[in-house]
């Protein structure tokens, strides 16, 4: 139960109440929770076997196993895929009238979206742990150090925040869970495949390489892969964080710009 009764109530208390509410809502659907957490593991197993011949390509990084190449990509890809959960959650809030209830409560309008972002960050870390265990069983090795591990977590959480904001906005606009799922898939696919997630960008057509340069998931994948292999540079990490922050900023700024232009 959400207990927000007074605007003078500390904002952190209000946010905590919303985060607890989101976590409880997720826990009440254990089937969805299970599939959300384990699907990236299933994809890792499938992709690592189907596409492992990519490692035989002359353009593939020398001395790198495909499972080491794929695992950081799956961390980024699963974060994008899970972002649709935030969109569906936002749409469900509209469908069951909870969005109107939020609007009537004495709290900042941005808090429900921020709570969804925190919820997704928590599950992102849980998925990363499960995915890591599966990858180790398939022969994955982490070649970096403690700093690389910490930087990878930061990149992953910031990407999760950007994806949660993006798909949350889609959910707010579409307002129907079934429509949000299809719209989310259309948005999700370019993020996933116009990147270095499954094959080196150098093997793609020129126009796709240009698009990949603008893709925050591509930058996150490169940074995560660098930290996993112990070859990451500060520029790689900065580019991944900057790309995700710019996407998040653009999403957050969109409603404000729409109001300035009189768009409802």
In tens, the pLDDT along 215-226 reads 999 999 999 999
In tens, the pLDDT along 151-187 reads 999 999 999 989 988 988 888 888 787 788 788 888 8
- Is the separation of the CB atoms in 104 and 3 below 8 Å? no
What pLDDT score does 260 carry?
47
DSSP-derived secondary structure for the chain:
------TTS-HHHHHHHHHHHHHHHHHT-HHHHHHHHHHHHHHHHHHHHHSGGGGGSTTSPTT--HHHHHHHHHHHHHHHHHHHHHHHHHHHHHHTTHHHHHHHSSS-TTHHHHHHHHHHHHHHHHHHHHHHHHHHHTT----S-HHHHHHHHHHHHHHHHHHHHHHHHHHHHH--HHHHHHHHHHHHHHHHHSSSSSS-GGGS-HHHHHHHHT-HHHHHHHHHHHHHHT---HHHHHHHHHHHHHHHHHHHHHHHHHHHTT--
What pLDDT score does 29 carry?
64
Length of the chain: 264
What pLDDT score does 190 carry?
87
In this prediction, residues 28-49 reach a mean pLDDT of 74
Give the gyration radius of the chain's Cα atoms: 19
> What distance in Å separates the CA atoms of residue 206 and residue 211, rounded to the nearest whole number?
9
Report percent pLDDT > 70 for the chain.
87
What pLDDT score does 187 carry?
86
In tens, the pLDDT along 111-133 reads 777 888 888 888 888 888 888 88
What pLDDT score does 150 carry?
94
| Residue 77 in tokens | 């890809």
């Amino acid at each position: 139960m959400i207990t927000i009764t007074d605007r003078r109530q500390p904002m952190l208390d209000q946010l905590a109440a919303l985060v607890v509410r989101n976590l409880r809502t997720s826990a009440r659907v254990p089937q969805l929770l299970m599939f959300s957490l384990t699907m990236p593991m299933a994809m890792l197993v499938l992709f690592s076997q189907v596409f492992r011949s990519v490692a035989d390509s002359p353009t593939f990084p020398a001395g790198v196993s495909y499972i080491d190449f794929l695992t950081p990509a799956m961390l980024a890809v699963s974060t994008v895929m899970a972002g649709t959960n935030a969109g569906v959650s936002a749409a469900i809030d509209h469908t069951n009238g909870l969005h109107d209830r939020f609007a009537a409560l004495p709290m900042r309008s941005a808090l429900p979206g921020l709570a969804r972002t925190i919820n997704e960050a928590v599950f992102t870390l849980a998925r990363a742990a499960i995915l890591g265990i599966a990858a180790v069983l398939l022969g994955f090795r982490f070649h970096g150090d403690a700093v690389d591990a910490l930087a990878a977590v930061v990149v992953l959480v910031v990407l999760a925040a950007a994806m949660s904001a993006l798909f949350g906005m889609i959910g707010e606009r579409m307002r129907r869970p079934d429509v949000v799922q299809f719209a989310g898939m259309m948005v999700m696919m370019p993020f996933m495949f116009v990147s270095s997630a499954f094959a080196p960008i150098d093997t793609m057509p020129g126009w796709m390489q240009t698009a990949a340069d603008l893709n925050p998931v591509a930058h996150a994948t490169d940074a995560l892969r660098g930290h996993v292999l112990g070859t990451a540079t500060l520029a790689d990490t900065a580019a991944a964080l900057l790309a995700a922050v710019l996407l998040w900023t653009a999403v957050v700024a969109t409603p404000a710009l729409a109001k300035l232009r009189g768009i409802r």
